[in-house]
Structure 1
C-alpha cells in the first residue's frame, strides 16, 4: 500500500512538472547571441534585475553602486549611490516605481525611480543583508541576511512586521510567491523553508539528502514548485507540497558562490538559465533537463543573471576579473 501511494505521488509530481513546462518538450534550441557589453562597475557585480516593464536594467555590486541601464539597448542612464558597503541584492517593486537594495552595511534602501534618489532606509538587521524581494502589491518587503533571520517589512512604516529566526546559518535567498501568501527562504545550512507570510509560521522544510549549501531559491511563475540552486553544482525543482525533488539540472560549476537560476520563456519553449564558476552561462530545457546552449565570453565567475520580462533577452554579469554586464538576444 505504501509503495502504491509513493508511486501515485511520483506520478502526480511528474504530471505537475509536465504541466509547468507544457510547451517545453516540443521546444527548439535557444540561440542566444551576445549583443551588448556594458562597463562601469569597479568591483564584482552581484545582482541584475530588469524592471517589470523591461525598460530598465539595474545592476549592483561590491562597489556600493547601483547602475541603471536601458533594458534593451544597454545605454547607461544613471548611478545611484548611498550605501557605505557592498550591495548583494536588488529587487523591483511590481509597478517599477521603486527599487530596493540589500547591503553589507546592514541596511535596505528604497530608491524612487521618479526622483532617482534614496527615499527610505530600513534598519534592523544586525549583520550583512544578503537578499531582498517585494510582494505582489509592493507594500511588503522580505529580506534575509547573515544574522540568520528572515524579516518581513511594512514599507510604509519602515518597520519589520515579522522577524523570523529562520535558519542556523546566513540566509542566501528570500522570495514571495505570486500572490504574496507564502515566503520561501534558503540558507547556508542547506535548508529550504516555506513560510506563511501573514503568521510567520514555518509550513515546510525541504532538504536534500547530501545537505549542500543552498545558494538561491525562487517560486516558479505558478508558485507550485520552487527552483533551488545548491553548491554541489546542481539546480533542483521541488514540489514543496510533497517535499519531493522532481527535476535536477547539472553541467555547470557551482561550489563556492551564491549563483541564482532563472526561468526563461520564449516562443521556442521553457528553459532554465544559470551562471557558472567556469565563466559561462548554461541553458537547460525545463522538461528534458538537457543543456541546450552554453554562452561563453565572461572572464570570471558569472554571479548574476536576469531575464527580460517579455523579450528574448538574458543579462549576465561577472566577478572581479570581468566586471562587465552582457546582454544576450535570441531573435
Structure 2
C-alpha cells in the first residue's frame, strides 16, 4: 500500500450492543452485521443506508455467513440455534436447534446445500440446508469451537478452538484428517482457508496470526504487532492484484492492522474505533474493508483501502 492512509468512508451506529460480526455479500452489494442486541442488519454498501433489520433470535448473535448467491444469511446465536434469513423476502426461513450450548460460528459450503456450525458445546454440526436435518454431529474439540470454514471445493472443513488446535475434517465422512497445534498451545480464536485453500490463516490468543501450509503442515508466515489475548478476533485476506496481497485483523487496542502478506511488515494501522475491533471483512471486488467493534464502541466502519 502507498504512504497515503486508507480512509473511513462511513460509520454505522444503529446497533445497541457489541457488533460481533460484519460480512460483505458475495455480490458485494450488501453488508450484513449481527450483534449482541439480537439483531441482523443489512446495509447498502455504496451508500451505507440501512436496508433491513431482522429480529428472531432470543439472545445475542455471534457470527453470520452469506450463501454464494447472496440471497441467504445464516446466523449463529447464544440461544443455541442456527437461523437462515431470506434477503429477497425479508424473512426468517429456518431456525434449527440441536447444539447443547451457544452457537459460536457458522458457514455455508460453496454449493450452499450444507451449513457447518460450531458451538461452546465443543461440537461441529453439519446441516442439510433444504431439510434442516442434522447430517453429522462431530465431537470436534475439547473447548469452544471458535470458527468453521469450508475449502474452495467444499470437501474439507477447517475448525479452530480455544483448545489450541486447528482441525481438518472430511465433509462427507466427518473424519478428522489432520490436526495443527502451535508450540505455545495458545487458544486458537479464528481460522479461515486462503482463496485457493492451500493455506489457512489462524489467529491465536498470543497476539499472533499464522499462515499454515495445509499440505506440509508447516507455518509459512507469522504476523504480529496487534493485541489479541482475550477475544475471538477475525482476520482476513485482501487480494488487491497479483502482486499486492495483505492480511488484515482487528485488535484489542482499537486499531485495524494491515500486513503485507509476503514481507509480514505492518503496512498500515487504521484508527477510528474506540474499543476492541472484533471483526474485519474484505469486499469481494472493490478495495473496501468493513470492521466492527465491541461494547465501548458498538459501531461499524467501512474503509477505502489505498493500494
| Corresponding position of 1:303 | 278
Question: Distance in 2 between the 1:261 and 1:249 partners?
Answer: 11
TM-score by length of 1: 0.90
**Do residues 238 (structure 1) and 217 (structure 2) align?**
no
| Corresponding position of 1:152 | 126
**Do residues 196 (structure 1) and 163 (structure 2) align?**
no
**Do residues 135 (structure 1) and 109 (structure 2) align?**
yes
**Do residues 67 (structure 1) and 41 (structure 2) align?**
yes
TM-score by length of 2: 0.97
Deviation at 1:89, TM superposition (A): 0.1
**Do residues 222 (structure 1) and 196 (structure 2) align?**
yes
Q: CA RMSD in A?
A: 1.1
**Do residues 282 (structure 1) and 257 (structure 2) align?**
yes
Question: Distance in 1 between the 2:231 and 2:110 partners?
Answer: 28
| Corresponding position of 1:52 | 26
Deviation at 1:72, TM superposition (A): 2.6
1:52·1:92 contact (CA, 8 Å) conserved in 2? yes
**Do residues 291 (structure 1) and 290 (structure 2) align?**
no
State how many pairs are aligned.
305
Question: Distance in 2 between the 1:282 and 1:72 partners?
Answer: 24
Deviation at 1:30, TM superposition (A): 7.4
Higher relative helix content? 1
Higher relative strand content? 2
Question: Distance in 1 between the 2:238 and 2:129 partners?
Answer: 30
| Corresponding position of 2:16 | 42
Question: Distance in 2 between the 1:329 and 1:262 partners?
Answer: 16
* Structure 2: segments with no counterpart, 5+ residues: none
1:315·1:327 contact (CA, 8 Å) conserved in 2? yes
1:30·1:330 contact (CA, 8 Å) conserved in 2? no
1:259·1:304 contact (CA, 8 Å) conserved in 2? yes
What SS class does the counterpart of residue 73 from structure 1 fall into? coil
Q: Which has the larger radius of gyration?
A: 1
After superposing on structure 2, the runs of 4+ consecutive aligned residues of structure 1 that deviate more than 2 Å are: 27-31
**Do residues 182 (structure 1) and 156 (structure 2) align?**
yes
Question: What whole-Å deviation, never above 9, does each CA across 1:235-262 have from its counterpart, x for those lacking one?
Answer: 0000122111110000000000000100
Question: What whole-Å deviation, never above 9, does each CA across 1:95-152 have from its counterpart, x for those lacking one?
Answer: 0111000000000000001111101111110100000000011000000001100111
Shift in CA distance, 222/198, structure 1 to aligned 2, threshold 3 Å: same
| Corresponding position of 2:61 | 87
